[in-house]
Structure 1
Amino acid sequence: MTKTLRTAIGGILASAAISCMAVLPATAQTTIEVHNTMSAGGSEDAALQRFSEFLEERAPGRFDIVPYLGGQLGSEVDVLELLNLGQTQMSLTGGLFMNQYAPELDAVSVPFVFPDWNAVEHFMMNTDSGKAIQAKAREQGNIVYLGPQMRAFRHMTSNREINTPEDLKGLTMRLPQIPIWLDVWGELGVQPVVIPAPDIYFAMRTGQVEAHENSLASPYTRQMWEVQKYIITTAHLSFPWHWVASARWWDGLSAEDQALITEAVEAARSHGFTVEAEADDFYRAELIKNGMTFIDVDQAPFRETARPAVDRILSEMADGVTTDIEAAIAATR
């Protein structure tokens, strides 16, 4: 090859390299799929939107957020497996992963344990038990825990006026197939009846059950004023959402991107809290407008009556869980 030819070829290659550099962005865009099983319009959707907006505000064009609502890519179980394999990036998921990876630490799923949201959040983020849940989720499921998001506390509805735990005796009550919930409510004197969620309204209309428990979204969206009279504010459980990420994906991010995404999750959690609280107030007003009567009971006697079952459940959990529950409650009073 002549010197002239080598020089010409070198110039062509250099020009091509410069052209390629010209069409590539300075920093490649990162795609983040975020999953949730709820449909659009709720506090979950609002939180995902705030997450996307925050990242766009702080790093315009850096991230491409792709939300998948309504379980578009499968159930919680399916998405947890995708996260485990690194085939998707993030999820605003329910508490299934705690029962799957750390059931001996999952006090958050036990009714009548935590009196308010602050205690739930403190337990998950600041206690040894909460940190152990996070560690087990990473070790066993390749899940990086980024924080809980408030879901409104659950209450009960009934066709019977309920003012004290004694009024629950013999009440037929719909419950999901969750053994610890069946145990706790059985301790309170109800007759649990396991019925799938889509059949709740029909079961009440036909008299199969007299009561059920859920957040206020349930009686509102199901127009339960047609088949129920009372809402009793037992506030027995907040079953939060949790922001999680695939460790296989997360560990490949730069420290700067990890920090920015963590900040975005904090902004999303805060916004989701506000929207959920506003929605809960709205549901209460609308349920009253449609004829349902709220009975704001003294919750302490209900918690005390449920205590034997709660203590049995907690006694089977890991050492330190009860101490961490007490610490979380004390720290947030």
Structure 2
Amino acid sequence: MLNTSKFGKILLAGLTATVFTGQAMAADITLKLGHLANEQNIWHKAAVKFGEELKALTNGRIEVEVYPNESLGKEMDLINGMQLGTADMTITGESLQNWAPMAALLAVPYAYKSLAHMDEVASGDIGDKIKAEIIEKARVRPIAYFARGPRNLTSNRPIESPDDLNGLKLRVPNVPLFVDVWKALGASPTPMAFSEVFTSLQNGTIDAQENPLALIKSANFNEVQKYVNKTEHVRSWIYLVISELTWSKLSDADKAAVMEAAKRAQAFEREAFLKDEQALVAELSEKGMTFVDVDGAAFAAQAKDAVLANVKPEIKTIVEGLFAN
């Protein structure tokens, strides 16, 4: 049965024109999509998938050139370039709070109880408000979002509740929110460059660190840490965005195609993400790490005041609501 939706009618019109000409038209729009991940990263694969889908949906009229490894520029440079019209697309997240304060909601400790809760927020009213502010103030348009692996605490003793932290010397990024939250939980957080973490764990300068499973694996922390404590203290997402300048130049038909391609890329990324998380648990377990379930509610309750003290006034009420959920 033919799709009679608005998008279906637009797409059908374009495909019908192609049937009569008997050949695909050459690309007349090329979008440049730069990002920081490498070619093996799921985000890169999702970006490539977006390009493939968009090319197919527009019968080759729109092509997407994907530039991984910051080869088109660093994240902030790309956002600035998109605002000026020298770049078209990127993958970005809470960095957008430099323009839109609500973007900080993409990565608030203990704000999201589960992946399902995060999806509910990202795709619901709060997510709509975040996107609207990003469009208005950052002048880039979120068209899809990708999940990020939750951050977990690794250590050489099992940590099941905040009481078990008891002065644990813990490396954290140099982010005041992270430092204050871990202090509130009872640890002794130490800001440190990521490049120094392995050696510091090895020589006992620190006892623990926290990161997503993919980084725990790639950094070989299994060689110096025995436990992955499933604190999942930061769940977050990241957006695939297009420049408002680029968007404004697209026809309604092409905008519809972009959104459909983005929807398919998001579904592709989620499936790959879930498989990857399962594989990472298996691989780290095989390498000798033990996964420890924690009292997530106790961690969240003890972290709450420190989180609220650090978030900007513009989002404080929303964060309070997320904690109350």
Does the Cα contact within 8 Å between 1:144 and 1:245 map onto a contact in 2? yes
Q: How far off its partner does 1:191 sit? A: 0.9
Does the Cα contact within 8 Å between 2:102 and 2:133 map onto a contact in 1? no
TM-align CA RMSD: 2.2
Give the Cα separation in 1 of the matches to 2:113 and 2:177. 18
Aligned partner letter, 1:225: N
Which residues of structure 1 form unaligned runs of 5+?
1-24
Match of 2:255 in 1: 258
Does the Cα contact within 8 Å between 2:166 and 2:186 map onto a contact in 1? yes
Does the Cα contact within 8 Å between 2:25 and 2:60 map onto a contact in 1? no
1:283 equivalent in alignment to 2:277: no
Alignment of 1:134-153 (within 5 A): 134-153=131-150
Does the Cα contact within 8 Å between 2:228 and 2:289 map onto a contact in 1? yes
Alignment of 1:173-212 (within 5 A): 173-212=170-209
User: 25-34 vs 180-189, which deviates more?
Assistant: 25-34
Q: Summarize deviations over 1:179-199 as a string: whole Å, max 9, x none.
A: 111111111011111111222
Does the Cα contact within 8 Å between 2:217 and 2:284 map onto a contact in 1? yes
Out of 109, 112, 115, the position equivalent to 1:111 is 109
Does the Cα contact within 8 Å between 1:176 and 1:194 map onto a contact in 2? yes
**SS class of match (1:153):** strand
Match of 2:64 in 1: 65
Out of 295, 302, 325, the position equivalent to 2:322 is 325
Q: How far off its partner does 1:27 sit? A: 7.0
Match of 1:310 in 2: 307
Which structure is larger by alpha-carbon Rg, 1 or 2? 1
Q: How far off its partner does 1:132 sit? A: 3.3
Give the Cα separation in 2 of the matches to 1:303 and 1:163. 13
Does the Cα contact within 8 Å between 1:165 and 1:301 map onto a contact in 2? yes
Give the Cα separation in 1 of the matches to 2:63 and 2:177. 41
Using the size of structure 2 for normalisation, the TM-score is 0.86
Aligned partner letter, 1:153: P
**SS class of match (1:169):** coil
Give the Cα separation in 2 of the matches to 1:146 and 1:85. 19
Match of 2:92 in 1: 93
Match of 2:31 in 1: 32
Give the Cα separation in 2 of the matches to 1:181 and 1:159. 21
Does the Cα contact within 8 Å between 1:110 and 1:181 map onto a contact in 2? no
Does the Cα contact within 8 Å between 1:40 and 1:69 map onto a contact in 2? yes
Aligned length: 303
Using the size of structure 1 for normalisation, the TM-score is 0.85
Q: How far off its partner does 1:76 sit? A: 1.1
User: 132-141 vs 269-278, which deviates more?
Assistant: 132-141
Q: Summarize deviations over 1:7-36 as a string: whole Å, max 9, x none.
A: xxxxxxxxxxxxxxxxxx867521011122
Does the Cα contact within 8 Å between 2:171 and 2:197 map onto a contact in 1? yes
Q: How far off its partner does 1:282 sit? A: 0.9
Match of 2:121 in 1: 123
Give the Cα separation in 1 of the matches to 2:219 and 2:272. 20
Give the Cα separation in 2 of the matches to 1:220 and 1:157. 11
Does the Cα contact within 8 Å between 1:230 and 1:295 map onto a contact in 2? yes
Give the Cα separation in 2 of the matches to 1:234 and 1:113. 13
Does the Cα contact within 8 Å between 1:123 and 1:324 map onto a contact in 2? no
Give the Cα separation in 2 of the matches to 1:265 and 1:80. 19
Change (3 A) 1:323 1:176: closer
Q: How far off its partner does 1:124 sit? A: 3.1
Give the Cα separation in 2 of the matches to 1:177 and 1:314. 16
1:217 equivalent in alignment to 2:225: no
Aligned partner letter, 2:251: S
1:78 equivalent in alignment to 2:77: yes
Change (3 A) 1:112 1:265: same
Does the Cα contact within 8 Å between 1:152 and 1:277 map onto a contact in 2? no
Give the Cα separation in 1 of the matches to 2:45 and 2:321. 31
Percent identical pairs in the alignment equals 28
Alignment of 1:153-164 (within 5 A): 153-164=150-161
Match of 1:46 in 2: 45
Give the Cα separation in 2 of the matches to 1:88 and 1:208. 43
**SS class of match (2:123):** helix
